[in-house]
Amino acid sequence: MRLRDISQIPSEAGLSWVWWRGLYEVALRTGLLKRRFEGRSIDEALSRSLGVELDELDSWLIENWYESSSHFFLRPNLSHYADYIHAPGRVIEVADDALNGKILFFGKWVADLGCPPDWLLNPVHNVKYSSKLHWTAIPDLSEDMGDIKYVWEASRFPQAFYFVRAYALTGDERYPEGFWSQFESWVRANPIELGPHWRCGQEIAIRSFAWVFALYAFAGSHATTEKRIVLMLKHLWYNAVHIEKNHWYALRCVRNNHSLSEAAGMFTIGTLFPFFPEASRWTRKGFEHLVSEAMWQIYLDGSYVQHSTNYARLVVQLFTWCTQIANSNGRDLPRNLKERLRKLMFFLYALQDTSTGRLPNYGSNDGALIFPLSSCDYLDYRPALNALGEVLDGQPLYERGPWSEEAAWFVGPTLGISDEDMGGSDKISHPAEGKPVVSFPEGGYYVLRSAELQAMIRCGKYRHRPSQADMLHFDLFYKGHSVLIDPGTYSYNPKGDWVQYFTGTQSHNTITVDGLDQMKKGSRFLWINWVNGKTLDFGQKGSACMFVGEHYGYSPVVHRRFVALREDTIVVIDYLFGDKQTHEYCLHWLLDDFGLQDTEEYGAIIDVEGNRLCLRTGCSRQASATWVRADQQRRRGWQSLYYGELTPAWSYKMSLSSSEPVMFMTMLSPVSRSRSRLSLTYQEASNIIEQWGLACSDYVIKRPVASKDFATER
């Protein structure tokens, strides 16, 4: 990075962040951090903390465990949950695979780690981490070791939830025995403070949640011996010790869902195991940070600081868990926090295609689904949103279906009770339901919808770190199918230059100028010179819904985007103006991997599961356009719906060089029998918009600057 770029960081990230980040680097590089987290005997450390003789430690722990007054929200008889479990055969299949070390990663694909699992293996790159190396010597992003998340995923113990669900269905003791065997093997393979699994406090917290869930779920099993309970209590205690020591890093340097996860870890362990000497402090600190962090991370309109739909869902699941931990132990969340959580829930609901439960695959998507407690697909947000609605208000967000299982695990099964007899059985009344336009201006999200189409546009001013250079990105669902898409994430540390593809401007549904990103790329998770967008108009006008906004990331060039939607048709006009220098302008659309018919330079017929859509494009000046699918060499035409998985998509680019203002036109609508060509002229687009009671000339220009409308000649 240039010195000028580095000097920009304090003004955007803040001086406080620079100070704390620098302090952490000093502690890391001088070895101070390593000395603070020296490996030690848990037994000796815990006995000193308790003031109990070493040979009496185990008996003291088990006695206090039995006498503890704390409560967990699970019902003792797991068979009561069985009727809520959808696709039981699939649940048992995943659990049986996991017994043999074949673990479902990121809710999608299976990695074979062996039996017992090799907890230090990166199964994608087939490299193994050392269990003798202190965690401070292990980088998050190593070219040799690949993506560390491929090592962390199995140690989040997602399989524990499948073991519990399979046990609820069958009562088969193989599942609790399988969990405890894997837990013991994990402890043997990961000495205190050594290896990759002590690298991240959030990972320690998420692992603790899975262990706690299994501990209470299997409490009545013969496999749950006193010796195993004691071993887990010791490690849960140390997990909280470690998290508390380094929580300042998540609070001051990371400043996102990590700080919430770690606070939730302290709150959970402190609340459920009050006999630990530090428990009251962990409970208090965890609760205070949960409240304070959530109140600034969740914006007033419900949008989330990380500009990521999946990370927002992670926060939903965290607070579903913490709310029930609190409720079960006589504690209530503050009213203002509950209201903020409702707004987060409504924000995600407003972006959701309600027929599939999917949201735009927008922002960083690291595959996190920390409580896989339903048989719905990973991309379906209904289980998580429905569960939060139940724990906050005692009401579901949806009618009963496969997505209801997660809520049942948190609030308890209600077998044998009719809907009429269930208190609060009516759906939550959603403030955005049925509205054709919904906006979240603090986060910069604008939603237009009709009976068949739902569009999301990104436009706003960044208050906190952006993850993608994608201002004015446009995402579109048609009849429950994602048509115009965000490419996703794929991996935080992939081989090759895939990071640039997935986070950069060129893969998103917007305009690039001179082949540049809208912002400058710093380190892996840092952008410099944040792009700002401005919304000029939004709402219902005439018989249509419309949005107009612009951004200044290519200053002095301005990109203004006009979007109008009515019934089954949407029109987008992009206007580039503000500079007399010659620039290379490129319009890009990324489409899901549907069959394309009649592909032409200026459009295509798209077969969306039997529905034929017509994509028509045009330009005010002579331009060339190409269609590309799954091109490895040029890094074009790819998407990632699930972390670690790369799948084809269609990339459409229209490009030209010009020193004058340029206008691109795009229209998507069902195929018309009278259609004669795919190219779209400005006059056609303008006439359609005027028929809807709008005038795009109010926001762009009255006529294209060019003397010819080149689209008519194609």
Tell me: the pLDDT tens digits for 305-328? 999 999 999 999 999 999 999 999
Q: Which amino acid is residue 228, in one-letter code? A: R
Is the pLDDT at 420 greater than 60? The verdict is no
Q: What percent of the chain has pLDDT over 90?
A: 83
Classify residue 282 by its DSSP letter.
H
Position 672 scores a pLDDT of 79
Position 11 scores a pLDDT of 65
Position 521 scores a pLDDT of 85
Report the distance separating Cα 245 and Cα 268, nearest Å. 16
Tell me: the pLDDT tens digits for 530-570? 999 999 999 999 999 999 999 999 999 999 999 999 999 99
CA distances from 235 to 187, 221, 229, 232 (A): 8, 20, 10, 5
Tell me: the pLDDT tens digits for 597-612? 878 889 999 999 889 9
Q: Mean of the per-residue pLDDT values for the chain?
A: 92
Summarize the confidence of residues 411-428 as an average pLDDT.
Answer: 56
**Banded model confidence at residue 14, pLDDT cuts 50, 70, 90:** confident
Q: Which amino acid is residue 575, in one-letter code? A: Y
* Residue among 536, 546, 592, 589 nearest 569 (CA): 546
Is the pLDDT at 416 greater than 50? The verdict is no
| Both tokens assigned to 696 | 């795009």
Is the pLDDT at 614 greater than 60? The verdict is yes
Say which residue, 390 or 431, is predicted with more confidence. 390
* Alpha helices, DSSP H, located in 298-379: 309-328, 335-350
The β-bridge partners of 627 are 652
Report the distance separating Cα 140 and Cα 142, nearest Å. 6
Position 465 scores a pLDDT of 86
Report the distance separating Cα 242 and Cα 234, nearest Å. 12
As a 3-state breakdown, the chain gives helix, strand, coil percent values, each rounded to 5, of 40, 20, 40
Output 15-23 pairs: Cβ under 8 A, ≥24 positions apart. 16/252, 17/252, 17/253, 17/255, 20/248, 20/249, 20/252, 20/253, 21/252, 21/253
Report the distance separating Cα 375 and Cα 241, nearest Å. 34
Position 126 scores a pLDDT of 94
* Residue among 148, 150, 82, 54 nearest 110 (CA): 150
Summarize the confidence of residues 189-201 as an average pLDDT.
Answer: 97
Is the pLDDT at 707 greater than 80? The verdict is no
Summarize the confidence of residues 489-503 as an average pLDDT.
Answer: 90
Tell me: the pLDDT tens digits for 145-178? 999 999 999 999 999 999 999 999 999 999 999 9
| Both tokens assigned to 341 | 């959580």
Is the pLDDT at 242 greater than 70? The verdict is yes
Summarize the confidence of residues 243-269 as an average pLDDT.
Answer: 95
Q: What is the 3-state secondary structure (H, E, C) of 360-380?
A: CCCCCCCCCCCCCCCCCCCCC
Position 2 scores a pLDDT of 60
**Banded model confidence at residue 422, pLDDT cuts 50, 70, 90:** very low
Tell me: the pLDDT tens digits for 432-476? 677 899 999 999 999 999 999 999 999 999 988 899 999 999 999
Report the distance separating Cα 375 and Cα 380, nearest Å. 10
Position 698 scores a pLDDT of 77
CA distances from 162 to 15, 104, 315, 357 (A): 45, 10, 21, 22
Dihedral sign of CA atoms 273, 275, 279, 281 in order: positive
Position 676 scores a pLDDT of 64
First to last CA, the chain: 44
